[in-house]
Amino acid sequence: MALRRTTVVRTGLSALLLVGTWVTAGIAPAAATPSTPSDVKAPASAGMLTAMQKDFGLTESQAVARLAAEKTATAVETKAKRAAGASYGGSWFNADSGTLTVAVTDAAKADAIRATGATVRLVEHSERQLDAAKDRIDAFADDAPAGVSSWRVDTRTNQVVVDVVASRKNDNDVRAFVAQAREAGPVTVAETAEAPSTFAAGTVGGDPYYTGNVRCSIGFSVHGGFVTAGHCGSTGAQVRGWDNSYIGNFQGSTFPGNDYAWVNVGSGWWTVPVVLGWGTVSDQLVRGSNEAPIGASICRSGSTTHWRCGNVQAKNVTVNYSQGAVYSMTQTSVCAEGGDSGGSYISGDQAQGVTSGGSGNCTSGGTTFFQPLKPILNRYGLTLHTA
């Protein structure tokens, strides 16, 4: 567990902005100077490797091999997508084989795709067709009942999947929405235990970042501030640190539709390219933002449940929160709870996005969604702070 700050630390480090979260249980002073792997070419810090061993049941060498294979798959994905052209049907990482599978509608493209190092699966629908079908469902997102939790492109089944809450699947409004969705294209239905919600939390004792009476978590440092979730605060809202001192204000915030925001940093606070391990694992340096493929491992840092790992399950997900639909989310098997909102998702040493919401918890397990990072940077003209 993370170590609680002492009075000396509160006095000496009250101006330190710690990326990835800062919060309830506090952190040890060493977090101000992130531990750097002895081999800077290593795929991740020793702490992340330890966490992967725990969460995935791997040995250290297996964790290293998996991260190396995922890094290769990320590079292969770009080349394979280019080779597939308009027939590209999506791709995903296979943890067992350590390879990337690419779906394609045109068998004539298979050899060129294999030449990039990927395996090939022939499918009926291209990614463009699946995205178009999902866009047609997005067009009536405002009519989605609470019993519909999300919908997404599933490249492995070559379908658009509509997730419905199991206990409400026979509600008339849910059945009507599903029927309308089926008219949009290749759609299948899956069941989920509960509806998604955001992971903001009311004020509690400890070490948070606060806006009003809401506690959330920092995502990633950018030059001039940090990014976080939009539902954590509106544009102009004041932000306070773990010691209740003023940090800055929300400079931009969007929710629903998207779930992103950024906060400027001033008043003696500064930024560092670090995701916190909360004393459970070593802090992780951020070295870039290459997007991990579906199936890759991913870890999350948050102010409530600290460090958790899982897999990327889907991209281009529309999440039907009670406040309204949020588009283009990434779905994961990483758990989260209230207060984790806005926290960082990282794969290896590559920043992925910020926690939006989900269902379940870290006792029984759950499904979470994150807002990908690059759209946030592009929207506000920000530059990720990297090591």
Positions marked active-site: 231, 259, 341
Between CA 314 and CA 324 the distance in angstroms is 20
Is-contact 344 300, C-beta < 8 A? yes
Between CA 67 and CA 2 the distance in angstroms is 25
Cα 26 versus chain centre, distance: 23
Contacts for 374-381: CB closer than 8 Å, 24+ residues apart: 374/289, 374/291, 375/258, 375/260, 375/328, 376/227, 376/260, 376/261, 376/262, 377/222, 377/227, 377/289, 379/252, 379/254, 379/258, 379/260, 380/251, 380/252, 380/262
Q: At what angle do helices 46-56 and 60-84 cross, to 10 degrees?
A: 90
Q: Where are the beta strands (DSSP E) in 105-172?
A: 119-122, 148-154, 159-165
Between CA 137 and CA 80 the distance in angstroms is 28
What residues pair up with 239 in beta bridges, in sequence order?
A: 248
